[in-house]
Protein backbone atom coordinates (compact mmCIF):
# COMPACT_ATOMS: atom_id res chain seq x y z
CA UNK A 1 0.00 0.00 0.00
CA UNK A 2 2.77 2.44 0.92
CA UNK A 3 4.71 1.65 -2.27
CA UNK A 4 1.56 2.33 -4.30
CA UNK A 5 1.15 5.72 -2.63
CA UNK A 6 4.79 6.63 -3.23
CA UNK A 7 4.47 5.64 -6.88
CA UNK A 8 1.35 7.80 -7.14
CA UNK A 9 3.15 10.69 -5.43
CA UNK A 10 6.05 10.47 -7.85
CA UNK A 11 3.72 10.13 -10.83
CA UNK A 12 1.60 13.07 -9.66
CA UNK A 13 4.69 15.19 -9.06
CA UNK A 14 5.95 14.35 -12.54
CA UNK A 15 2.60 15.26 -14.10
CA UNK A 16 2.56 18.60 -12.26
CA UNK A 17 6.15 19.27 -13.34
CA UNK A 18 5.46 18.58 -17.02
CA UNK A 19 2.25 20.61 -16.95
CA UNK A 20 4.07 23.59 -15.45
CA UNK A 21 6.90 23.23 -17.98
CA UNK A 22 4.59 23.10 -21.01
CA UNK A 23 2.46 26.02 -19.82
CA UNK A 24 5.53 28.13 -19.02
CA UNK A 25 7.12 27.57 -22.42
CA UNK A 26 3.89 27.97 -24.41
CA UNK A 27 2.61 31.03 -22.54
CA UNK A 28 4.50 33.82 -24.36
CA UNK A 29 3.84 32.71 -27.90
CA UNK A 30 0.40 31.32 -27.14
CA UNK A 31 -0.53 34.77 -25.87
CA UNK A 32 1.06 36.26 -29.00
CA UNK A 33 -0.98 33.94 -31.22
CA UNK A 34 -4.22 34.88 -29.46
CA UNK A 35 -3.41 38.60 -29.80
CA UNK A 36 -2.56 38.14 -33.50
CA UNK A 37 -5.80 36.28 -34.16
CA UNK A 38 -7.75 39.01 -32.37
CA UNK A 39 -6.02 41.75 -34.35
CA UNK A 40 -6.62 39.85 -37.61
CA UNK A 41 -10.31 39.58 -36.78
CA UNK A 42 -10.42 43.34 -36.11
CA UNK A 43 -8.83 43.98 -39.52
CA UNK A 44 -5.67 45.50 -38.07
CA UNK A 45 -2.34 44.85 -39.83
CA UNK A 46 -0.14 42.12 -38.36
CA UNK A 47 2.82 40.08 -39.46
CA UNK A 48 1.99 36.98 -41.53
CA UNK A 49 2.06 33.59 -39.80
CA UNK A 50 4.98 32.57 -42.03
CA UNK A 51 7.27 34.84 -40.00
CA UNK A 52 6.52 32.86 -36.86
CA UNK A 53 6.31 29.25 -37.98
CA UNK A 54 9.25 28.83 -40.32
CA UNK A 55 11.99 26.57 -38.94
CA UNK A 56 14.72 29.23 -38.89
CA UNK A 57 12.64 31.66 -36.79
CA UNK A 58 11.60 28.86 -34.45
CA UNK A 59 15.17 27.78 -33.74
CA UNK A 60 16.82 31.20 -33.64
CA UNK A 61 14.17 33.39 -32.03
CA UNK A 62 10.95 31.75 -30.81
CA UNK A 63 12.39 28.94 -28.67
CA UNK A 64 15.24 30.95 -27.03
CA UNK A 65 12.99 33.94 -26.33
CA UNK A 66 10.32 31.66 -24.92
CA UNK A 67 12.86 30.12 -22.55
CA UNK A 68 14.17 33.56 -21.52
CA UNK A 69 10.76 35.20 -21.10
CA UNK A 70 9.50 32.23 -19.09
CA UNK A 71 12.61 31.92 -16.92
CA UNK A 72 10.89 32.86 -13.61
CA UNK A 73 8.15 30.30 -14.28
CA UNK A 74 10.76 27.73 -15.27
CA UNK A 75 12.66 28.43 -12.04
CA UNK A 76 9.44 27.76 -10.12
CA UNK A 77 9.02 24.52 -12.07
CA UNK A 78 12.58 23.53 -11.10
CA UNK A 79 11.75 24.37 -7.47
CA UNK A 80 8.77 22.04 -7.68
CA UNK A 81 10.90 19.28 -9.20
CA UNK A 82 13.45 19.72 -6.40
CA UNK A 83 10.92 19.76 -3.55
CA UNK A 84 8.30 17.30 -4.79
CA UNK A 85 9.87 14.10 -3.49
CA UNK A 86 11.22 15.42 -0.19
CA UNK A 87 9.54 14.57 3.08
CA UNK A 88 10.72 17.74 4.79
CA UNK A 89 12.65 20.71 3.41
CA UNK A 90 13.23 24.14 4.97
CA UNK A 91 10.73 23.38 7.69
CA UNK A 92 7.93 22.54 5.26
CA UNK A 93 6.46 19.10 4.82
CA UNK A 94 5.75 17.43 1.49
CA UNK A 95 2.23 18.76 0.86
CA UNK A 96 3.03 22.34 1.79
CA UNK A 97 5.16 23.12 -1.26
CA UNK A 98 2.37 22.63 -3.81
CA UNK A 99 0.31 25.72 -2.78
CA UNK A 100 3.46 27.85 -2.81
CA UNK A 101 4.53 26.70 -6.26
CA UNK A 102 1.04 26.81 -7.78
CA UNK A 103 0.22 30.18 -6.21
CA UNK A 104 3.40 31.69 -7.59
CA UNK A 105 2.89 30.04 -10.96
CA UNK A 106 -0.73 31.10 -11.45
CA UNK A 107 -0.28 34.70 -10.28
CA UNK A 108 3.06 34.96 -12.11
CA UNK A 109 1.51 33.63 -15.33
CA UNK A 110 -1.34 36.14 -15.04
CA UNK A 111 1.19 38.95 -14.57
CA UNK A 112 3.18 37.67 -17.55
CA UNK A 113 0.10 37.62 -19.78
CA UNK A 114 -0.66 41.15 -18.64
CA UNK A 115 2.76 42.14 -20.02
CA UNK A 116 2.73 39.91 -23.13
CA UNK A 117 -0.49 41.40 -24.52
CA UNK A 118 0.86 44.96 -25.03
CA UNK A 119 4.13 43.51 -26.30
CA UNK A 120 2.42 41.57 -29.06
CA UNK A 121 -0.30 44.16 -29.68
CA UNK A 122 2.15 46.54 -31.33
CA UNK A 123 5.38 44.60 -31.61
CA UNK A 124 7.12 47.39 -33.55
CA UNK A 125 6.34 50.24 -31.12
CA UNK A 126 5.90 48.34 -27.88
CA UNK A 127 6.56 50.17 -24.65
CA UNK A 128 7.24 46.88 -22.84
CA UNK A 129 11.00 46.24 -22.81
CA UNK A 130 11.32 42.64 -24.01
CA UNK A 131 14.81 42.32 -22.53
CA UNK A 132 13.59 43.00 -18.98
CA UNK A 133 10.29 41.15 -19.33
CA UNK A 134 11.07 38.38 -16.79
CA UNK A 135 11.98 40.96 -14.17
CA UNK A 136 8.74 42.87 -14.73
CA UNK A 137 6.44 40.00 -13.77
CA UNK A 138 8.70 38.55 -11.08
CA UNK A 139 6.90 40.58 -8.34
CA UNK A 140 3.59 38.94 -9.36
CA UNK A 141 5.22 35.54 -8.99
CA UNK A 142 6.62 36.38 -5.56
CA UNK A 143 3.25 37.71 -4.33
CA UNK A 144 1.52 34.55 -5.56
CA UNK A 145 4.12 32.35 -3.85
CA UNK A 146 3.67 34.32 -0.62
CA UNK A 147 -0.11 33.88 -0.81
CA UNK A 148 0.40 30.17 -1.46
CA UNK A 149 2.76 30.05 1.53
CA UNK A 150 0.10 31.65 3.72
CA UNK A 151 -2.41 29.09 2.50
CA UNK A 152 0.01 26.24 3.22
CA UNK A 153 0.71 27.66 6.67
CA UNK A 154 -3.01 28.01 7.44
CA UNK A 155 -3.64 24.45 6.29
CA UNK A 156 -0.80 23.11 8.45
CA UNK A 157 -2.09 24.91 11.56
CA UNK A 158 -5.47 23.26 11.25
CA UNK A 159 -5.47 20.01 13.09
CA UNK A 160 -7.82 17.16 12.33
CA UNK A 161 -10.97 17.08 14.43
CA UNK A 162 -9.95 13.85 16.16
CA UNK A 163 -6.73 15.47 17.44
CA UNK A 164 -8.65 18.25 19.23
CA UNK A 165 -10.65 15.90 21.42
CA UNK A 166 -8.80 15.14 24.68
CA UNK A 167 -8.19 11.47 25.24
CA UNK A 168 -9.17 9.93 28.55
Cβ pair 29, 117 in contact under 8 A = no
Q: How far apart are CA 88 and CA 141, in angstroms?
A: 23
Domain membership of residue 145 (yes or no) is yes
Distances (CA, A) of 138 to 65, 88, 133: 16, 26, 9
Domain membership of residue 38 (yes or no) is yes
Q: How far apart are CA 43 and CA 154, in angstroms?
A: 50
pLDDT tens, residue by residue, 28-78:
888 888 988 898 888 888 877 777 777 777 777 778 888 888 888 888 888
Domain membership of residue 138 (yes or no) is yes
- Higher confidence at residue 126 or residue 66? 66
Nearest CA to 110 out of 139, 87, 131, 83 is that of: 139
> Partners of 92 in the beta sheet?
89
Domain membership of residue 91 (yes or no) is yes
- Higher confidence at residue 86 or residue 50? 50
- Which helix (H) or strand (E) segment holds residue 88: the answer is strand 88-89
Residue 35: give the domain boundaries: 2-158
Domain membership of residue 81 (yes or no) is yes
Domain membership of residue 10 (yes or no) is yes
Over 60: is that where the pLDDT of 145 sits? yes
Q: How far apart are CA 14 and CA 16, in angstroms?
A: 5
pLDDT band, very low/low/confident/very high, at 149 (cuts 50, 70, 90): confident
Domain membership of residue 77 (yes or no) is yes
The domain tally of the chain equals 1
DSSP state of 60: I
Mean pLDDT, residues 12-26: 83
Provide the pLDDT for residue 110: 92
Amino acid sequence: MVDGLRRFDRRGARIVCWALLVVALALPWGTGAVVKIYLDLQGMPTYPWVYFVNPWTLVVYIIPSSIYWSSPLLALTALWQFTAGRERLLGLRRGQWLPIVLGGFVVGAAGAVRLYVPLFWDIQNSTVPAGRLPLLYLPYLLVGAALGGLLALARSRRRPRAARVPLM
